[in-house]
């Protein structure tokens, strides 16, 4: 199973998931269909499936797709606008409780090597914000430096892994008492709500 990202619009990603044996492919969130079709042609694959994660941001009915292969490869999850690298979607229609369930309970329980493919290139800004929550988190500092180098070189910052998200994404770290204490909250759901509110008002 090969996954290719297809940059679309300003900062969106579509993904082509290719089964190398059958030369068949699925596309996730084809924002610019022509680009995706062209990409499939270049790779000599037949587009068989279209997977759509959402109609807009963290909205009702948002789906993440978890993909495994028979080979010894790490699985992949396509999270659209629910889980971003070091961040999460805005609570447009969903609640803090739903986001906690999505991020920390469902996605957080996936195998740690699972590769995370999200819908937008927001990584640098998300990591800069994450440092306002945890200024002493060395993993966040290191990943921010790496992400800045990637972007300066014109490269993507995806995929991440579930393990990296559990180490660097403040929204996936709200079960930790020290994070709750930092944002003055007594429960993970309160903490995720408070961190989201801070992110919404942050002008980094």
pLDDT digits (tens, 9 = 90+) for 120-151: 999 999 999 999 999 999 999 999 999 999 99
Q: Quick check: helix, strand or coil at residue 79? A: strand
Comparing CA positions, the residue from 4, 17, 30, 32 lying closest to residue 66 is: 17
Q: What pLDDT sits at residue 26?
A: 94
Name the H helices within 43-173. 96-100, 123-133, 138-152, 162-168
Average pLDDT of every residue of the chain: 92
What is the C-alpha separation between 104 and 107, in angstroms, rounded?
6
pLDDT band at 31 (very low <50, low <70, confident <90, very high): confident
Is the sign of the CA dihedral 173, 177, 180, 183 positive or negative? Answer: negative
Which CATH architecture does the domain made up of 53-201 adopt?
4-Layer Sandwich (3.60)
What is the C-alpha separation between 171 and 81, in angstroms, rounded?
14
What is the C-alpha separation between 45 and 140, in angstroms, rounded?
38
List of residues 6+ apart from 101 with CB closer than 8 A: none
Q: Given a cut of 90, is residue 200 above it in pLDDT?
A: yes
Tokens for 174, please give them.
């709200």
Mean pLDDT of 154-181: 98
Tokens for 77, please give them.
């999850």
Which stretches does DSSP call E strand in 52-159? 65-67, 76-80, 83-84, 87-88, 115-118
Return the exposure string of 142-173: e unless at least 16 CB atoms fall within 10 Å of the residue's CB, then b: ebbeebeebeeeeeebbbbbbebbbbbbbbbb
Percent of the chain with pLDDT strictly greater than 90: 79
What is the C-alpha separation between 128 and 108, in angstroms, rounded?
22
- pTM over cut 0.75: yes
Pairing of strands 76-80, 24-28: unpaired
What is the C-alpha separation between 176 and 187, in angstroms, rounded?
9
Mean pLDDT of 104-133: 97
Map tokens 């699972």 to a residue: 114
């Amino acid at each position: 199973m090969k996954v290719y990202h297809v940059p679309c619009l300003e900062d969106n990603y579509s993904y082509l998931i290719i089964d190398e044996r059958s030369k068949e492919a699925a596309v996730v969130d084809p924002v610019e269909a022509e680009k995706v079709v062209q990409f499939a042609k270049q790779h000599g694959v037949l587009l068989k499936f279209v997977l759509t994660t959402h109609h807009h941001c963290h909205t009702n009915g948002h789906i993440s797709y978890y993909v495994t292969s028979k080979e010894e490869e790490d699985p992949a999850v396509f999270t659209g606008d629910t889980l971003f690298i070091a961040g999460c979607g805005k609570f447009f229609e969903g609640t803090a409780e739903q986001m906690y369930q999505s991020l920390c309970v469902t996605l957080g329980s996936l195998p740690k090597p699972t590769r995370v493919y999200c819908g937008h290139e927001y990584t640098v800004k998300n990591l800069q914000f994450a440092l306002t929550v945890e200024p002493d988190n060395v993993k966040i500092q290191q990943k921010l430096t790496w992400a800045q180098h990637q972007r300066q070189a014109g490269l993507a910052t995806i995929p991440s892994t579930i393990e990296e998200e559990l180490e660097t994404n403040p929204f996936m770290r709200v079960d930790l008492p020290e994070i709750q204490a930092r944002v003055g909250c007594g429960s993970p759901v309160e903490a995720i709500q408070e961190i989201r509110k801070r992110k919404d008002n942050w002008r980094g």
